[in-house]
């Protein structure tokens, strides 16, 4: 290479390096001014806390002095469903995502050693938030996260700053009638015959279906999601845990009027981010919340039950804008 060209190349690289270094400094200074003091705070950390002998696994990211986002997962997933969302929010928030007992990496107490119902799950999550020092929080609720989150709100309305609802329901009309047809007999009379269609929800094909059905961006679907969930379902004794939870879902239906009254009275801020092709929960769920909360912000996505798998960046963006307005109000 000619010396003149080499000199120009070196000068160009040095100049580019100086510009990049300055840009990185500005970016770091901006992050320090508006968020955590260290990039290390934004990295996801994997922790456990023990409550009554039960190890609760959780993912956490963000500085301890930031506003708390409590992420509550659905069936049959765990905090794993938030793996791509958490890093997109941790610059400005302390993001915490626990696994319920019997899910993900948390302990799986035997049936009889822990009451696998939603009231017990909510009580444990309540004590979890206290153990990790989360005194107030916005709640992200998907599927099972809805019944857990609404129970937390009824118990501690002063602690809940806002809701982000992603395919979680609070009314009978929000359900797909075909799903109700399959599960209602199980709720009414639990026996081998009524259990059969519910047990089918634990099969590998159904777990994959929950992720793939209605997902327009199939190229963004990672098989890791349903393989991870199925590994949990296939653990010895986990089928009994899941059947107990699915049976006790009927208690949530009985709580719908109390949740309605809470929402109507308290008018909490709500962001709805909804996968509109969900095979279980219909878009009527959006209409129900909007009827109770006229100021609710709504965004529909061409996605299925697990919308984060294909639209995490879009949902994170809507969350940042919504929570930013909440902080400014």
Is-cis flag, bond preceding 76, omega within 30? yes
For the ranges 16-25, 178-187, 257-266, which has the lowest average pLDDT?
A: 16-25
- Per-residue confidence (pLDDT) for residue 158, from 0 to 100: 97
Any catalytic annotation for residue 305? yes
Tokens representing 145?
């996260």
235 pLDDT more than 80: yes
Work out the pLDDT band at 67, boundaries 50, 70, 90.
very high
Fill in the DSSP letter of residue 111. Answer: B
32 pLDDT more than 90: no
Spatial strand order of the sheet with 68-72 comes to: 45-51, 54-61, 94-98, 68-72, 137-142, 160-166, 270-275, 297-301
- Per-residue confidence (pLDDT) for residue 197, from 0 to 100: 96
Tokens representing 88?
């997109």
- Per-residue confidence (pLDDT) for residue 39, from 0 to 100: 80
Full-model pTM: 0.88
CA 162 to mean position of chain CA atoms = 14
Q: Which listed residue (73, 228, 299, 305) is catalytic?
A: 305
DSSP string covering 269-298: -EEEEEETT-SSB-THHHHHHHHH-TT-EE
pLDDT in tens, 101-138: 999 999 999 999 999 999 999 999 999 999 999 999 99
- Per-residue confidence (pLDDT) for residue 17, from 0 to 100: 37
28 pLDDT more than 70: no
Tokens representing 303?
């996605």
Tokens representing 324?
């930013």
Beta bridge partners of residue 142, listed in sequence order: 166
Q: What is the residue-averaged pLDDT of the chain?
A: 90
Work out the pLDDT band at 11, boundaries 50, 70, 90.
very low
For the ranges 10-19, 37-46, 117-126, 161-170, which has the lowest average pLDDT?
A: 10-19
CATH number of 44-328: 3.40.50.1820
Residues 168, 146 contacting (CB under 8 angstroms): yes
Work out the pLDDT band at 1, boundaries 50, 70, 90.
very low
Work out the pLDDT band at 41, boundaries 50, 70, 90.
confident
Classify 11 as helix, strand or coil.
Answer: helix
Classify 49 as helix, strand or coil.
Answer: strand
- Per-residue confidence (pLDDT) for residue 25, from 0 to 100: 30
């Amino acid at each position: 290479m000619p010396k003149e060209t080499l000199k120009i190349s070196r000068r160009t690289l040095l100049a580019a390096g100086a510009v990049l270094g300055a840009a990185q400094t500005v970016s770091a200074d901006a992050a320090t001014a508006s968020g955590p003091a260290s990039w290390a705070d934004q990295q996801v950390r994997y922790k456990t806390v023990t409550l009554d002998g039960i190890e609760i696994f959780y993912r956490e990211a963000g500085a301890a002095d930031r506003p708390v986002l409590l992420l509550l997962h659905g069936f049959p997933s765990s905090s794993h469903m938030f793996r791509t969302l958490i890093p997109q929010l941790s610059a400005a928030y302390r993001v915490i995502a626990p696994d319920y007992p019997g899910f993900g990496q948390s302990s799986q107490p035997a049936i009889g050693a822990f009451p696998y119902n939603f009231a017990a799950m909510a009580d444990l999550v309540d004590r979890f938030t206290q153990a990790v020092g989360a005194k107030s929080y916005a709640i992200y609720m998907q599927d099972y996260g809805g019944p857990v989150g609404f129970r937390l709100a009824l118990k501690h309305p002063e602690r809940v700053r806002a809701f982000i609802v992603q395919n979680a329901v609070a009314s009978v009309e929000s359900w797909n009638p075909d799903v109700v047809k399959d599960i209602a007999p199980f709720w009414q009379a639990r026996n081998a015959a009524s259990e059969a269609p519910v047990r089918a929800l634990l099969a590998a094909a159904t777990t994959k279906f929950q992720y793939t059905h209605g997902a327009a961006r199939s190229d963004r679907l990672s098989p890791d999601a349903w393989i991870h969930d199925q590994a949990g379902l296939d653990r010895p004794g986990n089928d009994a845990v899941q059947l107990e939870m699915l049976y006790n879902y009927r208690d949530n239906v009985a709580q719908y009027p109390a949740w309605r009254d809470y929402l109507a009275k308290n008018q909490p801020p709500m962001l709805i981010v909804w996968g509109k092709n969900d095979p279980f929960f219909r878009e009527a769920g959006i209409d129900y919340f909007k009827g109770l909360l006229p100021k609710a912000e709504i965004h529909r996505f061409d996605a299925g039950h697990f919308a984060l798998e294909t639209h995490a960046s879009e949902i994170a963006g809507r969350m940042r804008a919504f929570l930013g307005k909440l902080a400014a109000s």
